[in-house]
Amino acid sequence: MSEFTYSLDQLSSVATLSINTAGAVNTIGQRFLADMEMAIDRALLDRVKGVVIVSGKKKSFLDGANLKEIVTGATPAIIRHVTLRYQEALASLAKRPFPVVALLDGQTALGGGFELLIWACDHVFATSSSRMGFPEVNVGLFPAGGGTQILPKLIGLNAAVDLIANGRVNPAEYYSGSGFLTICTTDQLKSSAIEWIESHQGIVNRNYDPDFQESNPLSQEEKTKILTAAKSRYGISPYRPYVLAALDSMEGGLSLPIDAAAKRDIDLFVPLFSNPNSRNKIDLFGLVTGLAPKLVRVDPFHVVKVDKIAVIGSGLMGSGIAQVAAEKGINVTLVDVDAETAQTAVERIGQTLQNLVDRGKWLPRRREAALGNLGWTADYNQLKDIPLVIECVFEDLDLKQRIRAKVQEVNPNVIFASNTSTIPMAEISEGSTRPEMIVGMHFFSPAPLMPLLEVIRGPQSNPAVIATAVALGRAMGKTVILVNDGPGFYTSRTFGSYVMNGFRLAELGIPPWDVDLLALRVGFPQGPLHVYGTAGGNVIYHAGSFMATRFPDRMNVPRTLANMFEAGYVGAGKPSFYEDYRKMVPDRSAEEFITRANGIPTPTHEEAQDILILGMVNEAFWCMSEGVLRDYYSMDIGAVLGIGFPDCWHGPARYVSLKGVREVKRRLNELSDKFGMPGLAPAPEFDLLIATGLDSNLI
């Protein structure tokens, strides 16, 4: 069956090209390209009046390259050939003597699919629920089909840099002001396209029109300044070559015509497939989308139907969880100490969603639907028929136990899920008459944006309770990992090592702001001391103090962290390491709280980077040794999606695989001894792997 079929309406002389490739979504492969070329030739041969491009799939218009086809068998020569062939097909369609229009009805156009719209098509008609963008950097690549050159002319260079460097996908309405796209209803799509074709005979494609006026025109000097700043911000890490390639591509497009600039991109694009960090990203994408749902198998017969939930605690985390659930069609009751507090939280959620509407990220009806699923109360008696309650209060064991007892007294059959980040389920369950109904559901902040849910199996958690928590998490759109019980579980204790080691490096003589820059250069999305201020030092201090009581031999709170906490330098609106966190402007007054470690040398930059990344790696392997983690796949998924481990390294297990088990253990011992860091003492898991002869290929 053709993947790009051609049909001609003899009456209107308008041809329809329909995309329908093998697989769940439409992708670009060699078969697709051959069929596309034939369809274009046929349209030219028939001297059509215009072309309308549609998709045969309900949700996908065209979602980029067929990664499976490329990764499993393509050589650099084949990748080069396929990329050039696609560019030439887009250029051929753009230069034809008839108008080309695309229709999207609630579908996605991603990567090469978006490039088809903005290079080859003269206009796009889309329903408001359609989505478009360039997510390539999220899989270790960049848009190499002309997108980096064309998008800046349509939406402005600043907006294009943000979209491409961050891999953003936006609703169709985001682009409606750029002139190449019109929003309409499903019923209007086809008639609007035909009418547009009739009235635009002889049109010259914008990419070849010398009179085309780009959006927000800037001087060459202004454009160069924007890209130089972008390289400093997004391209700081040499281990993220795909971002640098994207920015280099945009820079090349400033002085070259589209065809020449796109061909130049091939030389930037092809080497990424042999770059280990790019391959890590590609593999991680496959792990998250393909294997992750299979790691935690749920028997549907054990899953309790959950069409409504209650969330206790209407702070930032509780409100975020409530918002996510409500958006997914789940009825949510937000519970707090009084109805007014809970109601205010719902109103705050409404304003948050309105901001998304105002920025073109959400449709008004999506906001109204979500708010329609939200209610509030202070009366625990209203929880009698709620099948599952998520507790999201402060990390205080006594408080959590009191709330758990109150909920179970009202509803003994309720599944009680705690969103605790550190306190074991065994302790939250103490004194409960129904400990089997207790499970951990650890979301990450901000809950609407963070993709991970860590489900914690308590020592007595019923399999049906675990299955229900996993199913609910997936219904809320989260990638779920399942871990066993223990202080800090997996993610919190591993993340804690990162932040604490950041403070220790400051105590060893590296300025705090340099610590954060070193973290960015090794691939972390945010430095540890930057995290301290944005996440809130109060939370980090209390979590660190709790973990120190459970692992006194390996974890302690650095004196500098305690100093800053006691002085109120805790960020989140209060002083900390930065005056401006977005621009990373240092607050030098924080230096007075740094306690210098005497008699210990200052680490080199390489040693400091290894301490940051190996601290997380080692703690992850301690979690394997202690049975908290069940497999290396969950280790890597949880580290990247939940706690910011550099995705260019795939995760702790892949990092060790690349460096070698013996080398990682040797380096940990070296750093631990030299800088007096017991938290870097190698986990027993390394000895186990060495004993079994494994040094690589853990994942």
pLDDT tens digit string along 288-335? 988 998 999 888 888 999 999 999 999 999 999 999 999 999 999 999
What would the mean pLDDT of 478-482 be, rounded to a whole number? 97
Which pLDDT band, with edges at 50, 70 and 90, does 420 fall under? Answer: very high
* Amino acid found at 599: G
Using 50, 70 and 90 to split pLDDT, how confident is the model at 68? confident
First to last CA, the chain: 37
pLDDT in tens, 190-215: 999 999 999 999 999 999 999 998 88
User: In terms of DSSP H, where are the helices of 335-452?
Assistant: 339-358, 364-372, 397-410, 425-428
Q: Are 418 and 438 contacting, i.e. CB atoms less than 8 angstroms apart? A: yes
Mean pLDDT of 568-586: 92
pLDDT of residue 348: 95
CB 126 within 8 A of CB 183: yes
pLDDT greater at residue 253 or residue 601: 601
Query: pLDDT grade, residue 573 (50/70/90)?
Result: confident
Residues 6+ apart with CB under 8 A from 117: 102, 109, 124, 132, 180, 181
pLDDT at site 160: 96
All domains of the chain, ordered by start, with CATH? Answer: 4-200+209-274 (3.90.226.10), 300-486 (3.40.50.720), 492-691 (1.10.1040.50)
Radius of gyration for the alpha carbons in the chain, expressed in angstroms and rounded: 27
Segment 613-635 shows an average pLDDT of 97
Q: What local confidence, expressed as pLDDT, does residue 360 receive?
A: 76
Q: What is the pLDDT of residue 176?
A: 87
> Is the separation of the CB atoms in 206 and 212 below 8 Å?
yes
With a cut of 80, say whether residue 73 has pLDDT above it: no
Asked if 427 contacts 420 with a C-beta cutoff of 8 angstroms, the reply is no
User: What is the distance between the alpha carbons of residues 50 and 45, in angstroms, rounded to a whole number?
Assistant: 12
Q: What is the mean pLDDT of residues 261-280?
A: 95
CA atoms of 329 and 432, how far apart (whole Å)? 31
Q: What is the mean pLDDT of residues 574-588?
A: 92
The pLDDT, as a whole number, for residue 497 is 96
CB 52 within 8 A of CB 120: no
Q: pLDDT digits over 437-459, tens only?
A: 999 999 999 999 999 999 999 99
CA distance 550 to 287: 33
Name the average pLDDT for the chain.
95
Cα–Cα nearest to 195, from 50, 42, 16, 47:
50
Q: Within 13 A of 408's CA, how many CA atoms are on the CB side?
A: 20
Q: What percent of the chain has pLDDT over 70?
A: 100
In the structure, what pLDDT confidence band is assigned to residue 363 with cuts at 50, 70 and 90?
Answer: confident
> Which pLDDT does position 69 carry in this prediction?
83
Q: What pLDDT, on the 0 to 100 scale, is given for residue 207?
A: 95
- The residue-averaged pLDDT of 499-519 equals 98
- What's the mean pLDDT in 87-113? 97
The pLDDT of residue 685 is above 80? yes
Structural element, H or E, at residue 326: helix 316-327
pTM for this entry: 0.93
Distance CA 319, CA 348 (A): 9
What integer pLDDT is reported at residue 215 of this predicted model? 80
What is the arithmetic mean of pLDDT over 393-404? Answer: 95
pLDDT score recorded for residue 155: 95
Considering the chain, what percentage of its residues have pLDDT values greater than 90? 90
d(CA 523, CA 643): 13
Q: Rounded CA gap, 635 and 629, in Å?
A: 7
Q: What is the pLDDT of residue 572?
A: 84
Distance of CA 460 to the CA centre of its chain: 33
Give yes or no for residue 134 having a pLDDT over 90: yes
